[in-house]
Structure 1
C-alpha cells in the first residue's frame, strides 16, 4: 500500500472516522475542522477507535486553516452536510486556487448532487480546467463520534459507488482511491451513485414517525432498534420501492435496501424490519434530539425531494416519498425551496443527458 497525503474536510461523525482509519492504515492525514479557529493547528492529534475496531492513532494534523489542510495533498475527502456545500465550496475553491489544484482529487462523500453545484462554481471562478471531482454514493463507515477524541465504529462498507460529472476522470480516480482502501467501484453516472444513498430511504421515515418520542426524550432511545417497528419498516420499504422504480425508469440497476445491507455489511434477516432492528450496524445509536436534524434538513431536500422530482418527470407515483416530505416539512417548520431539483433539471438540459 502506498502512503498517501490526504485531506479530510469536515469534523463530524464521518470526518473523524475517516481520518482515524486512514491514519491507522499508515497514510498522512490532515483533518480540517471549521470549528477550529483559523490560526489553530494541532499536530499528532490522538484519536481512539472502539466498536468493530480497537486502535489508537495520531492524526498528522488537525487545523482550522483550509489552506494548510489542502497544501501538498493528493486527494481531499469532503465529509460535510449537503446544506453546507455552497458555503464550503466557496472556501474550497479559494484555497485550491492557491496551490497546484489540478493535481488534487476532490471527493464528495457523499455527493448529494453537490457535484452539479460545484461544477457551476468552478466555471464561474474561471477554473474550467479543473475536473478532478468525484462523487460517492455514501460515506465509508457507519460510525458515531463520541467526542473530539473517540469514534465508535459500527460498520464498514464493502463497496461504494463512484462517478463524476467529468466521466473522463472516473477510472483514474477509482484506481487512486483503491490504493487507499479497496472498496470503490465505478458507477454508471451521478444518478446511479446518488440513488444508491440509502440515508434518505431510512432516516426520514424513522425520524418523522418518532417525532413525539424524539422531542419528549431528546433522542435518548435506540433509534433503529426501538424507533423501527413493523409499521415504520413498511413505510421504509415503500420508499425503497419507489426509489427502485425511479432507478429502473432511468435505466439504472439498483439493489433493494435489504440486498444493499447484505451486500455492504454482510447481514440479512427474514424481512426488512428484522434486518434493520437486529443489524449489528444499526444498534447503540441514539436518535436526534429534535427534528432539527440532518435526517430531516438534509435527507428531505437533498434526498427525497430530488427523487420526487424525478418521479414527476418520469410519471412515477411517489406516494410514500411525497408523504414524508409533506409531514417532515410541516412538523419541522422548515421550508425547503427545492433548489437542488432545479439544479438537477438544468444539468440534464444543459448536458442533453440521456439515460
Structure 2
C-alpha cells in the first residue's frame, strides 16, 4: 500500500519508521526543512533498533499525495487549516487522509472536500521523540487506536477505514470523527500539567520533566476530574462505550490506548525531560484547540465542566487571551447547532462549504 506521511515532527518521524517496517511503500513530505541523508532514519523501539529509508522524500506535496492509498498527517491541530488549504485541491475523490490525532480536524477537511474521507485518532499512535537529526526513539506504540471518520458511514468511510486498518492493525473503529475527537486524551492529560506546573515550566525549563516531576497526586486528581467531564459530554451527545477512560492508562490496563507498561517505558526513556513553554504543542493544540472544543461543546449540550473552564481561565490569564472565544470552538467550525454537527459528522457533508 502507498502511504504518504506529512510533516517533520516527532510523530511524522515515527510514522515513517513504523509504516516502512510494516512493509508499506512510504512517501515522506516536509514543507521545506531538509531531510536526513537520503531520507534514512535510524530508530530505536522498545525491543529493536535499525534503519529505514522511505521510497520517496519530497518537498512537492502534489507528488507526495498523488495516487496514495492513505495519507497520514501527524501535524499539530494548529497547522491543519494551512495544510488543508494546500492539500485539498491536490486530492482525488475517494482518497483517505488521517490526522493522528485530529482534534476534530476531520470536520475542517470534510468541509473543504466532502468527496474525500478524513479520519482522526484519539491519540498519537506513538510515544516518541526525535533524538538527533535522522534519529528517532519510539519506546511505545499504541495497542488500541480509536479512529473515526467523516463521513462515519457509507462506502467512502468503509474503504478509508479498511486502508487505515491495513496500516494500523490495532485500529478500533468509532462512530465518526466527532466520536474520535471526544476520545482524544491530549486535551485531558496536558492541560492540568500546564496549569499546575507553570512556575516550574518557566523557571526550571529543560531540567523539569513535566510527566515524571509534574504528575503528582494532586495533578492527577485534576486530570481525573477533567476526564470525567469529557466522558459526561460524550454521554450527553449519545456516544456509547468505550469512552476510553484515562484511568486505564495510569492503571496499566490492556483496555488503554497504550500497552499496560507504557507509563513505565515513558518514564524510563527520559525523553520527556525537555523544555515546555507556553508555545508548546500542549498549549497550542491541547488547550487552544482540544480543551476549548470540549468545553464549548459541553456548554452547548448543557453539561457542567467547571474543571475545564477553570483551566481555560487560568491559562488564558497567563497568556492574556480569552481562549474560549479565540480557540477551536463551534463558532470557528461554522455552526453552533449540535444536531448539525452530529448529523454531518456521521453522514458527511452534502456540499462543499466555504
Classify the TM-score, shorter chain: 0.7 to 0.9
Q: Say if 2:11 and 2:124, in contact at 8 Å, map to a contact too.
A: yes
Q: Tell me the equivalent position of 1:80.
A: 75
Q: Tell me the equivalent position of 2:102.
A: 111
Q: Deviations over 1:212-254 (max 9, x none)?
A: 1111122322221111111111111110111111112222221
Find the partner of 1:20 among 17, 21, 26: 17
Give the drift of 1:182. 0.8
Give the drift of 1:287. 4.1
1:106-145 alignment runs, 5 A limit: 106-122=97-113, 128=114, 130-145=115-130
Change (3 A) 1:145 1:181: same
Give the drift of 1:117. 1.7
d(CA) in 2 for partners of 1:12, 1:163: 23
SS at match of 1:241: helix
Task: Between 130-139 and 278-287, report the one with greater CA deviation.
Answer: 278-287
Q: Tell me the equivalent position of 2:349.
A: none
Normalising by structure 1, we get a TM-score of: 0.85
Find the partner of 2:248 among 252, 259, 264: 259
Q: Tell me the equivalent position of 1:188.
A: 175
Give the drift of 1:42. 7.7
Change (3 A) 1:104 1:189: closer
Change (3 A) 1:315 1:340: closer
Change (3 A) 1:241 1:287: farther
1:237-252 alignment runs, 5 A limit: 237-252=224-239
Normalising by structure 2, we get a TM-score of: 0.86
Change (3 A) 1:347 1:179: farther
Please say if 1:176 is aligned against 2:163.
yes
Q: Tell me the equivalent position of 2:145.
A: 160
Please say if 1:217 is aligned against 2:204.
yes
d(CA) in 2 for partners of 1:222, 1:158: 25
Change (3 A) 1:109 1:45: same
1:62-77 alignment runs, 5 A limit: 62-77=57-72
d(CA) in 2 for partners of 1:54, 1:216: 36
d(CA) in 1 for partners of 2:182, 2:319: 24
Give the drift of 1:131. 2.7
The runs of 5 or more residues in structure 1 that have no matched partner are 123-127, 269-275
d(CA) in 2 for partners of 1:32, 1:326: 38
d(CA) in 1 for partners of 2:64, 2:293: 32
Q: Tell me the equivalent position of 1:353.
A: 343
d(CA) in 2 for partners of 1:176, 1:95: 19
Change (3 A) 1:136 1:214: same
Q: Say if 1:162 and 1:170, in contact at 8 Å, map to a contact too.
A: no
Q: Tell me the equivalent position of 2:42.
A: 48
Change (3 A) 1:21 1:181: same
Q: Tell me the equivalent position of 2:327.
A: 338
Q: Tell me the equivalent position of 1:272.
A: none
Q: Tell me the equivalent position of 1:279.
A: 264
Q: Deviations over 1:314-348 (max 9, x none)?
A: 22221111111111111133453135321274464
Change (3 A) 1:185 1:171: farther
Please say if 1:151 is aligned against 2:145.
no
Q: Tell me the equivalent position of 1:60.
A: 55
Q: Say if 1:22 and 1:29, in contact at 8 Å, map to a contact too.
A: yes
d(CA) in 2 for partners of 1:104, 1:165: 12
Q: Say if 1:110 and 1:138, in contact at 8 Å, map to a contact too.
A: yes
Give the drift of 1:190. 2.1
d(CA) in 1 for partners of 2:275, 2:36: 30
Change (3 A) 1:43 1:148: closer
Q: Deviations over 1:186-233 (max 9, x none)?
A: 102222211111011011111221111111122322221111111111
